[in-house]
Amino acid sequence: DTEVTQTPKHLVMGMTNKKSLKCEQHMGHRAMYWYKQKAKKPPELMFVYSYEKLSINESVPSRFSPECPNSSLLNLHLHALQPEDSALYLCASSQKYGGETQYFGPGTRLLVL
Amino acid sequence: GESVGLHLPTLSVQEGDNSIINCAYSNSASDYFIWYKQESGKGPQFIIDIRSNMDKRQGQRVTVLLNKTVKHLSLQIAATQPGDSAVYFCAETTSNSGYSTLTFGKGTMLLVSP
């Protein structure tokens, strides 16, 4: 089983709203990732968690706040977003050993009005 | 035929043809490469991978070729079907302590006509 799940599938929010994206995997993977993807572009890395600790923050604005409550869950808290933040947000996970392959979830399509 | 648009190269083929999607990578130290398929509205799906100590690997209807001399990767799809229509990304990977980092290619859109 190589399934990563994400909720919600779609999200529309105003610039003053606070919302959260959720990601879950039950493959025992210890690394989890958030990516942002614009149309017709490859995914861009935002954050990496390894063993529930933040390992990489790719200079992401503070209006995006990641959280890793446990080894299976990854959240992305959103606050005061801008219209240009509208994109597909993808979660991925990988194993620690021989863990180069990242397995992606279906994504959350976010629209900021 | 193949065309390069403003943002995403596109390869158009007929059902039943063999398709070849190409990718140039940048880091000669990369030792692991992955091909992903991304259908419209979905996340990238793992197709096949290859390590740098190999030059060819075959899966079901897919073959990946690696030419380290010219830093070139290709994905061959045999007997292409309409369900193969998607954007295909190559990715070179770097392993770190406890996680990996992917560097994606720009992507190629494959359009399969019945």
| pLDDT score of A60 | 96
- Identify the pLDDT of residue A110: 98
CA atoms within 13 A on the CB side of B88: 26
Shortest Cα distance from A105 to chain B (angstroms)?
6
Sign, Cα dihedral of A67, A70, A71, A75: negative
Query: Cβ(B103)–Cβ(B49) under 8 Å?
Result: no
**Alpha-carbon separation of residue A90 from A12, A44, A103 (angstroms):** 16, 9, 10
pLDDT of residue B97: 78
Averaged over B10-28, what is the pLDDT? Answer: 95
Average pLDDT over chain A, rounded to an integer:
93
The Cα B56–Cα B54 span in angstroms is 6
Spell out which residues of chain B touch residue A105, defining contact as CB-CB under 8 Å: 43
| Strand arrangement of the beta sheet that strand B62-67 belongs to | B19-24, B72-77, B62-67, B56-58
Backbone angles phi, psi at A9, to 5 degrees: -75, -40
CA-based end-to-end distance of chain B:
15
| DSSP 8-state code for residue A83 | G
> By the 8 A CB rule, do A33 and A25 touch?
no
Nearest to A40 among B7, B43, B102 (CB): B7
Q: Is the pLDDT of residue A28 over 50?
A: yes
Indicate the pairing of strand B10-14 with strand B108-113. Answer: parallel
Give pLDDT tens digits for B47-64: 999 999 999 999 999 999
User: Mind listing the pLDDT tens digit for each residue in A65-97?
Assistant: 999 999 999 999 999 999 999 999 999 999 866
Report the alpha-carbon distance of residue B18 to residue B20 in Å, rounded.
7
User: Contact A81/A63 with Cβ under 8 angstroms?
Assistant: yes
Chain B residues inside the 8 Å CB shell of A90: 43-44
**What DSSP letter does each residue of B57-106 carry, written as one string?**
EE-SSEEEEEETTTTEEEEEESS--GGG-EEEEEEEEEE-SS-EEEEE--
Instruction: Indicate if the pLDDT at residue A10 is higher than 90.
Output: yes
- Calculate mean pLDDT across residues B7-25: 94
User: Which H helix or E strand runs over A64?
Assistant: strand A64-70
Q: Is there a contact between A2 and B104 if contact means CB atoms under 8 Å apart?
A: no
**Torsion A28-A89-B32-B103 (CA) sign:** negative
Asked if the model's pLDDT at residue A15 lies above 80, the reply is yes
Nearest Cβ partner of A42 from B97, B100, B104?
B104
User: Would the CB atoms of B46 and A103 count as touching at under 8 Å?
Assistant: yes
Place B96 in a pLDDT band, splitting at 50, 70 and 90: confident
Angstroms from B111 CA to nearest CA on chain A: 14
**pLDDT higher than 70, residue A31:** yes
pLDDT at residue A2, as a whole number: 66
